[in-house]
Structures are given as C-alpha cells and as structure tokens.
C-alpha cells in the first residue's frame, strides 16, 4: 500500500470512528492558514518533524507527485503542509499542540494557502490581479499554482473542507512585505470579513490568530511591524496576536529556525486551545493542557 493510500485509509478509519466519512463531522476541526513565507514554511524539515499522529490531517491544495498527494484529498499532516517543496510552518506544531490535548475522537485538519514574499494585497479581492501583474516571476509561479487567485483558491479548498468538518479558526502570518503599513490591520479585516461571508461563518465562533514577525530580541529586520500587528484586535474583536518573543531566527532575520517555528506554532496552538475552553500553559510549553470543562465554542 502506497503512502497516499495508507494516509487516506487512516483518515477513513478515523472518520468512521468519529462520524460519517461522507458527511460533515462536527468533531473534525478545520483551520485555515494563509500568509507569506513564514506561514508557507521556510525552515528545513527535520526527522523529528515527520512523525505525525494521523489525527492531524492536511488538505492538499495543489497536486504534489513528489509527495504522492493529489489536490483536494486529505493526508496525514507530514510536512510540508503548504505546497510540494515548502518547509516547516507554525501550522505543523499548532496542529500537534491541539492533538496532544483535544479528546481522542477529535481530528484536526489544516488548509494552508500561502505565498512567499507577497504583500497582504495578494489576498484582497480588489487588488490581487494588479498585484500579481507586477509580481516577480518567481512569485508568479507560486501564484499560478493557486490558479492565479490565492484567496479564491483558499475559499475553494475551505468549502471542500467544510464538507468533512467544521472551520474553527483562521491562522495568519504575514507582514514582512508590508513594513510600516498603517493600513495593514484594515486590509486584514477586509480579508477576514470576506472569508466569514464567503464561507457562511459566524465571527464570534471563528477567531483569527495572527503571529508576530521575528522579534526585536532576535534582531528581526521587520520587528517594528509588530507594533502594527499588535493592533489587529482593535479592528477585529475576535483576533488574537501570537507573541514571537524568544523564537529563534534564521540568519536572514526574516524567518524562523525550525525550533522557532515549533515554538511559535505551539503558541498558536495554546491560544486556540484556550479559546476552545482549555486551560492555557506558558507559551513555549508543548505539553498537553487540561480541559477546564468546555470542549468547544
């Protein structure tokens, strides 16, 4: 049995255990991820990152023959989680943190559509075409993998995911390409509002978790942008900022190391667990947390 068939078989077994495989399963928690290179995943995947509980799934959003994955199908979330040759992302350890704590009949699914180097405008309805038209060739190739419209592709994949589970949150990591952009929070709000509308979601039930860029304590080249990112909850009531303090940076001071992604991803996960009704632990603690009584929003 090949890797694809094995992954799908495991997912079917899990689905049968938790609910009907062909219908929406309320115990299949879906999380949408978008942004630029740090959400896409920049660090080299290490052996320890390839051991994944099959309760953590990824919806493949492009065809990846090298991974034996096909667009639109679910697989055990062995990285990469964005496209065929991307690296470790915060979404990896976000998902693992959830799986370590959520009840064993709950499955977690990741849907990641991200483009390295892009401005937030690439995900905006009114600007993505003009932005893509002037993007460098290397970025255009990535954009074209998403049909020329990353936002539209994310919605397409999200609707497919909704046939199997329930969208519980949205993860964002972007900002390095929008330094000092005081309108960034409003632009993110426009994208969040469109996702809520296009996917028929309820804002109070679907939080947006946005990660800070490489922090000043790591000499981050875009650390000043964190002051703007930190204001996101002022415009989106159900938005939460994930602190990047102490997360190790790569030599370019724009990306995180593998350890940095693990730490940041764990922080995303712990925040989401608290929003789902679980007691939070210190931000870098990857161990399971204890439920406070509620298991969902």
Q: pLDDT 10s per residue in the chain (297 long)?
A: 444 445 544 554 444 444 334 478 999 999 999 999 999 999 999 999 999 999 999 999 999 999 999 999 999 999 999 999 999 999 999 999 999 999 999 999 999 999 999 999 999 999 999 999 999 999 999 999 999 999 999 999 999 999 999 999 999 999 999 999 999 999 999 999 999 999 999 999 999 999 999 999 999 999 999 999 999 999 999 999 999 999 999 999 999 999 999 999 999 999 999 999 987 554 444 443 444 433 332
DSSP states along 184-196: HHHHHHHHHHHHH
Q: Token pair of 270, please? A: 């712990």
Is residue 280 part of the annotated active site? The answer reads no
Q: Which of 7, 15, 37, 190 is catalytic?
A: 37
Helix, strand, coil fractions of the chain, as percent rounded to 5:
40, 15, 45
Give the tokens for residue 155: 């919605």
Report field, pTM of the whole predicted structure over 0.85: yes
Query: Each residue of 18-50: b (16+ CB within 10 Å) or e?
Result: bbeeeeebebbbbbbbbbbbbbbbbbebeeebe
293: left (phi over 0), alpha (psi -120 to 50) or beta: left
The CATH superfamily holding the domain 3-275 is SGNH hydrolase (3.40.50.1110)
Write the burial class of residue 168 (CB in 10 Å: 0-12 exposed, 13-18 middle, 19+ buried): buried
Active site residue 37: yes
Cα 192 from Cα 6, distance rounded (Å):
35
Handedness of CA 32, 38, 44, 48 (dihedral sign): negative
Write down the catalytic residue from 153, 164, 173, 255.
255
**pLDDT, tens digit, 9 for 90 and up, residues 69-113:** 999 999 999 999 999 999 999 999 999 999 999 999 999 999 999
- Counting beta carbons within 10 angstroms of the beta carbon of residue 5, is it exposed (0 to 12), middle (13 to 18) or buried (19 or more)? exposed
């Amino acid at each position: 049995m090949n890797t694809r068939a094995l992954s799908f078989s495991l997912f079917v077994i899990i689905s049968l255990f938790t609910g009907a495989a062909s219908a929406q399963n309320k115990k299949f928690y879906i999380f949408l991820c978008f942004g630029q290179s740090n959400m896409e995943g920049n660090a080299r995947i290490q052996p320890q990152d390839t051991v994944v509980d099959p309760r953590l799934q990824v919806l493949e959003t492009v065809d990846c023959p090298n991974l034996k994955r096909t667009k639109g199908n679910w697989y055990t979330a062995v990285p990469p989680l964005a496209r065929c040759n991307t690296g470790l992302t915060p979404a990896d350890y976000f998902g693992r943190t959830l799986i370590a704590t959520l009840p064993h009949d709950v499955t977690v699914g990741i849907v990641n559509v991200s483009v390295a180097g892009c401005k937030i405008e690439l995900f905006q309805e009114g600007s993505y075409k003009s932005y893509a038209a002037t993007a460098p060739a290397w970025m255009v190739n990535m954009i074209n993998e998403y049909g020329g419209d990353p936002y539209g592709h994310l919605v397409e994949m999200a609707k497919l995911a909704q046939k199997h589970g329930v969208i519980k949150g949205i993860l964002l990591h972007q900002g390095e390409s929008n330094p000092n952009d005081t309108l960034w929070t409003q632009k993110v709000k426009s994208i969040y509002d469109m996702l809520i509308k296009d996917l028929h979601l309820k804002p109070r039930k679907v939080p947006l978790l946005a990660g800070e860029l490489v922090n000043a304590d790591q000499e981050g080249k875009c650390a000043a942008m964190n002051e703007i990112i930190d204001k996101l909850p002022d415009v989106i009531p159900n938005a939460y900022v994930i602190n990047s303090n102490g997360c190790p940076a790569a030599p370019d001071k724009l990306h995180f190391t593998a350890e940095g992604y693990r730490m940041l991803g764990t922080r995303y996960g712990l925040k989401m667990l608290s929003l789902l009704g679980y007691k939070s632990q210190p931000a870098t603690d990857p161990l399971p947390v204890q439920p406070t009584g509620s298991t969902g929003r």
